[in-house]
Amino acid sequence: MLRRGFTVNCTVWTASTGTKGWRWRPPLFCRCVDVTEKQFYPHLHQDGRIAERFLKPLGIFGARYAHMPAVGGLYVVMRLIQEEGDAVPDFESLGFLPDQIRVLKRLLRRPEGMIILSGPTGSGKSTTLRTASAAWLALWGYINKLPRRRLLTIEDPPEGRIDGAIQTPIIADRKNPEEIKRAWLLSMSYALRCDPDAILNGEIRDLESALTALKAAMTGHLVMTTLHANDGLNILERLEIEGVSARLLADPQLLMGLISQRLVQRLCPHCKVPYQQVAGQLRQTIAI
């Protein structure tokens, strides 16, 4: 049995069920997925990305693939990244409030220091970093597609174009966690030699990557990155657990922005009504 579902607006929707296409799994996997083993193993965990030549005609920038064995079959997840060209959403369209936008832009005007964004998987961290990168380029004089400052990104993989930035992917054997770790550290080390003004580092994963990012922030660079933490203050606890010294964590010139975000469902634009029209009914319903 093949069951297809989509996560839309924070909710999983089942689109269809059946058996059509099930037998095409192995050849489709071997032909379409790169950066992984070249054989399909349903009894093993495998991940990779869909080759660009299959995505471009569909208007998709990138697609991440992962599967794992499950009771009764195989659990497969594909994360699709829409091709938006050079169009990057602004903070307003992402739902940030005016006061929050003012704070973010004030942070982006700083020439050095670190901004860390936290949130669970799928909470929009990469999109927010992409928006922050475009805002940084604009604040520092991105005119006629000619940047006045150099922004270098390290991503695994890039999840959308940032016009004016130098975007670099992590290239490593996906089966080897140690090789992936070394690739992140090498990319950050090389980035510091490439004369950037700001660095977007996709994720802090361990003590070594945290210290490398902090080193960049201490040597005259603005660093934007992400970390898995429950809230903004929990970022400090996570870094302390990883082994970062309390002296560094207490430096306000170093860790200048600790941000936590979540996705929330938006009201339907066709059926939403002003709160004032239903306030009395809501109070009665809640009281019941």
Q: What is the pLDDT of residue 278?
A: 86
CA 12 – CA 111 distance, rounded (Å): 42
User: By the 8 A CB rule, do 19 and 2 touch?
Assistant: yes
pTM above 0.85, yes or no: no
DSSP 177-225: HHHHHHHHHHHHHHHHHT--SEEEES---SHHHHHHHHHHHHTT-EEEE
Q: What is the pLDDT of residue 23?
A: 67
235 has pLDDT over 80? yes
Q: What is the pLDDT of residue 16?
A: 64
Nearest to 95 by CA among 261, 274, 271: 261
Average pLDDT, the chain: 85
pLDDT tens-digit series, residues 117-135: 999 888 889 899 999 999 9
266 has pLDDT over 90? no
288 has pLDDT over 60? no
For residues 236 and 122, the model is more confident at 236
Mean pLDDT value of segment 280-288: 78
User: By the 8 A CB rule, do 184 and 154 touch?
Assistant: yes
Nearest to 132 by CA among 114, 120, 157: 114
CA angle 106, 112, 118 (to 5 degrees): 70
Nearest to 160 by CA among 87, 55, 221, 259: 87
Sketch out the chain's domains with CATH numbers: 2-82 (no CATH), 91-260 (3.40.50.300)
